[in-house]
Amino acid sequence: MSEDKDNDIDALFGEEKPQEEKKDQTPSKVEGSMKFKPGVGVDVGTSNIVVARQAEDGTFVNRFHRDMLYPLDVSDESADLLERSDYLFVKVNDKYYVVGEDALNLVNAIGKGEVVRPMKNGILNPTLKESSELLFYIIRAVIGNPIVEEETLRFSLPANPIDEDIDNVFHKMVLNGFFTKMGYDAKAINEAMCIAYDCNPVMKSDDGEVPLSGICCSAGGGMWNLSLSFKGLSLVEFSCTKSGDHLDNQVAKATGISENKVIKIKERKLNLDDIDMSDRVQSALSIYYDEMLDRMIHHICNEFQDKSSEMDGEIEVVIAGGTSMVPGFCKRFEDAIRRVEMPFKIYQVRHSENPFYSVSQGACIRAIADWQRKNK
Amino acid sequence: MGDYVNGKRPEPGRHIERIIEKRTEIIQEVESGRDKKLDQDAINAIASAVISAIGDKRGVVNTPSSISADTFDSSESLSRLADAMVIQRGNSQSNFEDLGTVKTTKKDSKNVNQTIDLLAGLDN
């Protein structure tokens, strides 16, 4: 891995607080010596693919890959560039697609064109003809083969959004078909419920503490996914579009700076507790973060209103997802939630200790439970 | 321009009037026969004739066709769907087999195992 790549990854994950231990190594070094429990979790996100397995000693091993591509027309020049570089690519029809972090580096270096994504708003990108082909190449290379026959797998699925006419059925079936073809016993799982399984929100009632009960928010690149759960069962699930990617787009429009550069600034410089107001991009990002948080809290109040009688205690809100990883995000969320009248008493807003991995780890925990149930 | 029927251009709206007249006649015929009762023997004779005419074709049972809507509820049909989506696999290529960067995390094993046990008891 190049030094630049290391720096990018450090910038992306620098603010995450490890629980006990955290390592960043190549897959073969870590996974080669480990024995895993059957059951794999896959977070199929708009921005990243993350795959989690749990080792026999309890360690979670997460593999991630940026879900992003830079298209190059097939020509002698592009073939020469790819041959002389260590870029990873897929060739489909008359285009090369440079995959992952290199796509972002390349578009910034060349200074023209845009990266493309196989996913949009949480589902397969309908405007990209090769979306399923490209996504499958990436997923197959990140996930690998089942470790046992018919290994259970859970993949994250967004709820249908309340602010866009988008249906997730086709996306769900295509992914289910793909994992099944790879030899897995696959099932979808709501993205926000994965966070519940990973973070275990607790409700405090007169009868004591009730596990797996509370509100979970997954702030992803394409959308927010939210759930209200009680004892591990989902009571309400919904999603809203216009999340992290929308911020990049709006800030790019407002400042005249390309989206790719906005992404770099957001991931490397932005701190919502300490905005540099002389920087137009940071100022604009701060404004759009506030707008997004107010919008999400408005939806939470509306969608969970009818369920207030079913939660007879004080509940916890847990937040995870790549968009929540900007420093200061959780404090702004909590400030915004305290300003409105919520349908429930909320005693705490908690940021997942592994916000980037909560969805994949929660899906993994559910897949391991599926395996246990299947082999009773 | 096409030729008119009988070489005569129809009056505007005339064909609509004809339809209305015809329907009015039919309604009058039906209503005039409402009070007439068919003889029971005649009804039986008609019924017998109909039954003998259709013979064994009575009691038609729908049988599954070889082509039916796919509900994607089996691994075979899901696999076919995946094949259908990856239509260009034969013409595509990549220069990698293995992708991704690895991060490990540790969680409280007791809590994780409690969650797994609870979830293993849930149906969905």
Q: Which residue has the higher pLDDT, B40 or A49?
A: A49
Kindly state whether A27 is in contact with chain B, defined as any CB-CB distance less than 8 angstroms: yes
Q: What is the pLDDT of residue A20?
A: 35
Q: Calculate the CA A336 to chain-centre distance.
A: 22
pLDDT, tens digit, 9 for 90 and up, residues A157-211? 999 899 888 888 878 888 888 899 889 999 999 999 999 999 999 999 998 999 9
In sequence order, which residues have a C-beta less than 8 Å from that of residue A188 and are 6 or more positions away? A154, A155, A156, A157, A172, A175, A176
For residue A124, the one-letter residue type is L
d(CA A215, CA A236): 10
Which domains are assigned to chain A? 3-67+117-374 (3.30.420.40), 68-116 (no CATH)
Residues of chain A contacting B123 with CB distance shorter than 8 Å: none
d(CA A254, CA B31): 74
Using the structure block, give the residue that is written with the tokens 């005649």: B42
Contact yes or no for B122 and A23 at CB 8 A: no
Smallest CA–CA distance, residue A146 to chain B, in Å, is 14
Closest chain A residue to B94 measured between Cα atoms? A90
d(CA B22, CA A279): 81
Kindly state whether A23 is in contact with chain B, defined as any CB-CB distance less than 8 angstroms: yes
Going by pLDDT thresholds of 50, 70 and 90, the confidence category of residue A4 is very low
Report whether pLDDT(A5) > 50: no
Contact yes or no for A180 and B102 at CB 8 A: no
In sequence order, which residues have a C-beta less than 8 Å from that of residue A88 and are 6 or more positions away? A98, A99, A100, A102, B94, B95, B96, B99
Contact yes or no for A20 and B106 at CB 8 A: yes
Give the three-state DSSP class for A345: strand
Residues of chain B contacting A19 with CB distance shorter than 8 Å: 105-107
Give the torsion through C-alpha atoms of B124, A311, A314, A320, to 10 deg: 30
Please state, for a pLDDT cut of 70, what percent of chain B lies above it: 34
Residues of chain B contacting A90 with CB distance shorter than 8 Å: 92-94
Average pLDDT, stretch A357-373? 96
DSSP state of A313: S
A27-31, A111-115, A293-297, B64-68: which has the minimum mean pLDDT? B64-68
Report whether pLDDT(A28) > 90: no
Smallest CA–CA distance, residue B122 to chain A, in Å, is 8
pLDDT, tens digit, 9 for 90 and up, residues A68-96? 888 888 888 888 888 888 888 888 878 88
Residues of chain A contacting B112 with CB distance shorter than 8 Å: 54, 58, 365
Report whether pLDDT(A2) > 70: no
Beta carbons of A93 and A133 less than 8 angstroms apart: no
Q: Find residue A146's DSSP bridge partners.
A: none
Q: Find residue A202's DSSP bridge partners.
A: none
In sequence order, which residues have a C-beta less than 8 Å from that of residue A92 and are 6 or more positions away? A130, A133, A134, B88, B91, B92
Smallest CA–CA distance, residue A369 to chain B, in Å, is 5
Going by pLDDT thresholds of 50, 70 and 90, the confidence category of residue B63 is very low
Kindly state whether A323 is in contact with chain B, defined as any CB-CB distance less than 8 angstroms: no
Going by pLDDT thresholds of 50, 70 and 90, the confidence category of residue A9 is very low
Give the three-state DSSP class for B86: coil
Contact yes or no for B72 and A180 at CB 8 A: no
Q: What is the pLDDT of residue A192?
A: 96
Among A63, A371, A376, the strongest candidate for a mutation testing the B interface, having the largest count of B CBs within 10 A, is A63
- Give the nearest partner residue to B101 out of A60, A64, A368, using CB atoms: A64
d(CA A245, CA A268): 16
Instruction: Give the H or E element holding residue B120.
Output: helix B109-120
Q: How many residues does the structure list for chain B?
A: 124
Q: Which residue has the higher pLDDT, B111 or B60?
A: B111
Please state, for a pLDDT cut of 70, what percent of chain A lies above it: 91
Q: Enumerate residues 334 to 373 of chain A having a beta carbon within 8 A of any beta carbon in chain B.
A: 353-354, 357, 361, 365-366, 368-370, 372-373
DSSP state of B59: S
The beta-strand segments (E) located in B1-124 are 93-94, 101-105
Going by pLDDT thresholds of 50, 70 and 90, the confidence category of residue A61 is very high
- Give the nearest partner residue to A368 out of B81, B105, B116, using CB atoms: B116
Given the DSSP bridges, would you call strands A208-210 and A214-219 parallel, antiparallel or unpaired?
unpaired
DSSP state of A309: G
